[in-house]
Structure 1
Amino acid sequence: MLHHVELWVPDLDRAVVSWGWLLGSLGWEPYQEWPAGRSWRLGETYLVVERSPALRPGAGHDRMRPGLNHLAFRAPGRGAVDALADQAPAHGWTPLFPERHPYAGGPGHYAVYLEDADGFEAEVVAG
């Protein structure tokens, strides 16, 4: 089982809006809060977004370069995936592959693919 994931973000407030909405919509609950970060928890697993003081300046996250491409989450069903797809833009997410939604991952894989303002991708799959 995954223990936790930590995403270093360039703008904590922006990440809290987008990730907080997405994770809350999927049943994750706020877990920890400190000046440079926030976390949400589901069961024993938690996800952190942090504007670390050790963050190096640079070009930012690029999901197409080596490293993290995306995080994939389960939704309770197709209705939840569709609701997330509809509501995502109001919460800082851009739908990826909208012309192929909800089967961008192939036939039988019902999901929405989202990208936040900092280039992080989240996939939400109907469970």
Structure 2
Amino acid sequence: MRARLSHIEIYVKSLERIKDFWDWFFEHIGWQRYQQWAQGCSWIDGGVYIVFVEVTTASPVPFNRRNPGLNHLAFRVATPQEIDDLTNLLRIKGIRILYEDRHPHAGGPSYYGVFFADPDGLKVEVFADSWRNDPP
């Protein structure tokens, strides 16, 4: 048996609050809007889609990525320049870069990427496939 990832569904407190954040991000990385309805929306790329659904019975405890459950979503891009461009855009939009003191190598010396969080605190990671910390 071989299975591929189909989709990820994430419950949110306020769809409107997170929709603007994810709209610009998914557009920036080349994903397409897939579905939209009163309580949710999704974006798709290559047959995999991510769904955000507003729930009315949300827990009074705020989301904490350090609790059991989903910690973060990670995306890969081709080049370090794409990471630099995204990082500049995040800063222009006032979105806090996580692990700023180690950016863009927060994942280690052979890593080039950026970590940030959506309005609910869900961590997002974007890293460059082609970067290696090898001398020229």
TM-score normalized by the length of structure 2: 0.85
The counterpart of 2:41, out of the listed 38, 41, 47, is: 38
The answer as to 2:11 corresponding to 1:2 is no
Residues of 1 paired with 2:45 and 2:6: CA distance?
Answer: 10
Q: Where does structure 1 lack aligned partners over 5 or more consecutive residues?
A: none
Alignment partner, residue 81 of structure 2: 79
Change (3 A) 1:109 1:121: same
Aligned residues: 126
The answer as to 2:2 corresponding to 1:22 is no
Q: What one-letter code is carried by the residue in structure 2 that aligns with 1:60? A: P
SS of equivalent to 1:24: helix
Cα drift, residue 25 of structure 1: 1.1
Cα drift, residue 93 of structure 1: 3.3
The counterpart of 1:70, out of the listed 50, 53, 72, is: 72
SS of equivalent to 2:26: helix
Alignment partner, residue 59 of structure 2: 57
TM-score normalized by the length of structure 1: 0.91
The answer as to 2:104 corresponding to 1:102 is yes
- The answer to whether the 8 Å contact 1:95/1:114 transfers is yes
Q: Where does structure 2 lack aligned partners over 5 or more consecutive residues?
A: 130-136
Aligned sequence identity (%): 38
Cα drift, residue 125 of structure 1: 0.8
Q: What one-letter code is carried by the residue in structure 2 that aligns with 1:20? A: D
Bigger Cα Rg: 2
Alignment partner, residue 123 of structure 1: 125
Change (3 A) 1:16 1:111: same
